[in-house]
Structures are given as C-alpha cells and as structure tokens.
Amino acid sequence: MTTQFWDGRRETLEDQAQDPLFNPIEHGLTGPQQALDLVRGDADYRQRFQQVFNVSPAEIRMEHLAQAIAAFERTLLAGDSPFDRYQYGSDQQALTSAEREGLALFTGRAGCSGCHSIGEDSALFTDNRFHRLGVGFKKIESRLAEIARIYVSSADPAEQLSPLEISEMGRFVVTGKPADIGKFKTPSLRNVTLTAPYMHDGSVATLEEAVELEIYYRSQERARPLILTPVEKANLVAFLKALTSP
C-alpha cells in the first residue's frame, strides 16, 4: 500500500501505527507521554525494548513504539490463495469453474479490476488510488458545502465538525481539493470474505450485498446498466472467496 487508512492520510506504517493510540474511538490515550509511561512501566516491555533497540526505559521514544508495531504489521502478508495458485502458479485446478467464471467477469464485463488491480506477476487488488462511490455520502450530503467551508477555513475543524462529518469527506481531508470530497482508497480484496462488515463505514454487512452495490455503482459510472444474472453474481462472489490466504 502506498498510503495508509481509507483516506490515505499517512504514508508509512510507522506514521500509521501511532494514530490509533490517540484516536478517541480506538485506544484513546491522551498523548505520547501516556503511551510512553505505559511502555516504560511494564517490565516485559522494558526488557524487550532494551533487547531490540538497546535503550534504557527513559530513552524509549514514540519512534521505537512505531517501529515495533510497523515491523509486526509487515509480517501480515497475504498470498498463496487459490487465485494465486491458478493465476501465477499455473495450477488450472486451483479454481473451480464457477470461480474461473467469476474471475473472467471481474477482469472483463464487470470491470472490477480497473480499480481492484491484478498485475502481471502479482495482485494487490487495489490501484492505491481514491474513488467516489458514494457509500455513506447521504449522511453529509445536505450539509456538504458548509462542512467543506468550515474544514478549509477553520484552524481546528474538529472543534466545529463531528468526527463523522470529517471522516465522510474522505480524501478531501488530506488534500483540501474539492474534487476529492467523498473519495476513499480502493481496498484490497485479499481475505475479503474474512473482513465483514464492508466499505469505509462498515455499512454493508455481507459480501453478497457489497458486490450488489458495486454492480450498481458500475452502472451509475457508465450511465448504462451493468446487468448480471443471479448465477453471474454468485460466480463473482465465489471468485472473491477464492482470494483467501491459507
């Protein structure tokens, strides 16, 4: 991933790793001091930080925490799914015929791989770019102009806007460009069957519904309906289920 979070507001895992500690709806720590106190106050952490970074408790800094978490995150690799074995391992039996039909739709008529990319010798299932589908947009649509105005003109937008109003602005929060309002990063679809609920706001409960929505968005985008039969939709879902790593 070239950026982190749905709006891509952090570039590196090290930067990303710090945000959840201080996000009020995640760990909700008051600041770096509290995070460092927690680590320095724990005998096991003290010993491990000494071992890995060669630092005394007083020398432990946020950078060490961030590096440690990021190093762990880098071990969370996905691969060797049935799709990988079929596509890159020349194992024709790795996908069932329904899954192969789904793959053909995914890269063909349904146009999914335009954003959920499949490369020559590997596939991230994301283009690492930002798109406006419209998921959750209704929640802020009526106040959009006002929210955007407050966001760009206020020194501390969080004082006047709710966390939802800010997060629903998507990529705009990072770039300040009106064209980026409501855009979110294409999520990878690896292991997608294990990661319900779906979309940036978790508003979609099942994979079937997510695929249904995406078919609808494709129709909107092209201004002509993308019509898939129930069997074709089921094949698309079957293909997505073949993206699960062992």
Contacting residues toward ligand HEC, per CB under 6 A: 110-112, 114-116, 131, 133, 135, 184, 186-187, 189, 192, 195, 198-200, 207, 210-211, 214-215, 218, 236
Measured in residues, the chain has a length of 246
Of 18 and 188, the one with the shorter C-beta distance to ligand HEC is 188
CB of 84 to ligand HEC, least distance (A): 18
If the CB atoms of residues 79 and 202 are measured against ligand HEC, the closer one turns out to be 202
Cβ-based nearer residue to ligand HEC, 157 or 187: 187
Indicate the residue among 103 and 189 with the shorter CB distance to ligand HEC.
189
- Measured from the CB atom, the residue of 53 and 137 that comes closer to ligand HEC is 137
Of 31 and 134, CB closest to ligand HEC: 134
CB of 6 to ligand HEC, least distance (A): 6
CB of 202 vs ligand HEC, minimal distance in Å: 8
How many Cβ atoms are within 10 Å of 240's Cβ, its own excluded?
Answer: 26
Residue 60: partners with Cβ closer than 8 Å, 6 or more residues away: 36, 39, 40, 49, 53
CA angle 206, 210, 214 (to 5 degrees): 170
Whether 171 and 7 have beta carbons less than 8 Å apart is answered as: yes
Q: What's the closest the beta carbon of residue 188 comes to ligand HEC, in angstroms?
A: 8
- 195 alpha carbon, distance to own chain's centre: 11
CA 36/CA 69 separation, integer angstroms: 14
Q: Give me the least distance between CB of 50 and ligand HEC, in Å please.
A: 39
The CB-of-45 to ligand HEC minimum distance in angstroms stands at 32
